């Protein structure tokens, strides 16, 4: 029998090993959270279905384990979840709960699909370059970077951090070959890096008023 899993359709994509902050405010998902906290603290995150919120059979998602729960006075909650195993929705199940419940089948990457070591090294280099530009773009302080050593974990880490469309992230999540995911990221990240370089140039020009010097601090108009 396939496992039963509460399902939370969202427009964001969770990857194994990644953390994700969520704000729970709808009554049915408050109930889902309460039920999860009373049980194994897990639910599934999938994209919404085609033309409706209910996820489609065959949709790929990721198990989310609640690691932090901050309940607010009005019943809403701020939570942080960590991604676990990936799964495929086989069918939605009738259930008395006000949220979706589905029969799911978990999966891993295919055995023997590990990338060559040199491609893992290259992904690490490309991702670090992208991550450094993102740090500058978002005016973040430098910090110690710790990346996973193995290709599988590194590919999930890079995919989670990539600032790209959810549809692209879903394809990376659904990929069952680690080597193919690494190669896809080695094509994607340079494109994102170029876009970040352009955005960073605009960002820096805005800070220098486009004249290579600091802004005067005087505003025109009010």
Q: What is the DSSP string of 147-179?
A: --SSHHHHHHHHHHH----HHHHHHHHH---HH
Radius of gyration for the chain, computed over Cα atoms and rounded to the nearest angstrom: 21
| 150-200 confidence digits (pLDDT tens) | 999 999 999 999 999 999 999 999 999 999 999 999 999 999 999 998 988
Position 48 scores a pLDDT of 86
pLDDT (0 to 100) of residue 187 = 98
* Single pTM value for the model: 0.88
For every residue of 176-210, DSSP letters joined together read --HHHHHHHHHHHHHHHHHHHHHHHHHHHHHHTTT
List, in order, residues 6 or more apart from 218 with CB less than 8 Å away: none
Count the Cβ atoms, other than its own, within 10 Å of residue 204. 13
Please tell me the distance from the alpha carbon of residue 36 to that of residue 13, in angstroms, as a whole number. Answer: 20
Sign, CA torsion 163/23/54/102 = positive
DSSP 8-state assignment for residue 113: -
Task: Phi first, then psi: give them for residue 21, nearest 5 degrees.
Answer: -85, 140
Helix, coil or strand: residue 4: strand
d(CA 85, CA 62): 6
Instruction: Judge contact between 13 and 169, C-beta under 8 A.
Output: yes
Q: CA-to-CA distance for 221 and 30, rounded, in angstroms?
A: 46
Which three-class secondary structure state does DSSP give residue 104? strand
Strand partners, 70: 78
d(CA 55, CA 89): 8
User: What's the angle, vertex CA 101, arms to CA 109 and CA 172, rounded to 5?
Assistant: 25
Q: What is the pLDDT of residue 14?
A: 98
**Distance between CA 65 and CA 42 in Å, rounded?**
4
Which residues does the chain have with pLDDT short of 50?
210, 212-222
């Amino acid at each position: 029998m396939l496992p039963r899993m509460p399902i939370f359709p969202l427009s964001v994509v969770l990857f194994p090993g990644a953390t994700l902050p969520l704000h729970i405010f709808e009554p049915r998902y408050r109930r889902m959270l309460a039920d999860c906290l009373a049980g194994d603290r897990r639910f599934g995150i999938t994209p919404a279905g085609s033309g409706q919120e209910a996820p489609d059979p065959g949709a790929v998602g990721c198990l989310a384990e609640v690691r932090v729960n901050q309940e607010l006075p009005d019943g809403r909650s701020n939570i942080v979840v960590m991604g676990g195993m990936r799964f495929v929705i086989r069918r939605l199940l009738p259930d008395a709960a006000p949220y979706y419940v589905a029969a799911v089948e978990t999966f891993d990457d295919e055995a023997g699909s590990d990338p060559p070591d040199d491609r893992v090294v290259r992904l690490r280099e490309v991702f670090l370059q992208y991550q450094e530009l993102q740090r500058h773009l978002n005016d973040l302080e430098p910090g110690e970077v710790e990346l996973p050593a193995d290709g599988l974990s590194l590919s999930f880490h890079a995919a989670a951090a990539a600032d790209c469309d959810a549809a692209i992230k879903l394809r990376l999540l659904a990929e069952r070959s680690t080597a193919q995911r690494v190669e896809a990221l080695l094509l994607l990240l340079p494109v994102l890096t170029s876009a970040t370089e352009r955005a960073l140039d605009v960002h820096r020009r805005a800070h220098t008023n486009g004249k290579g010097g600091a802004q005067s601090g005087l505003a025109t108009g009010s």
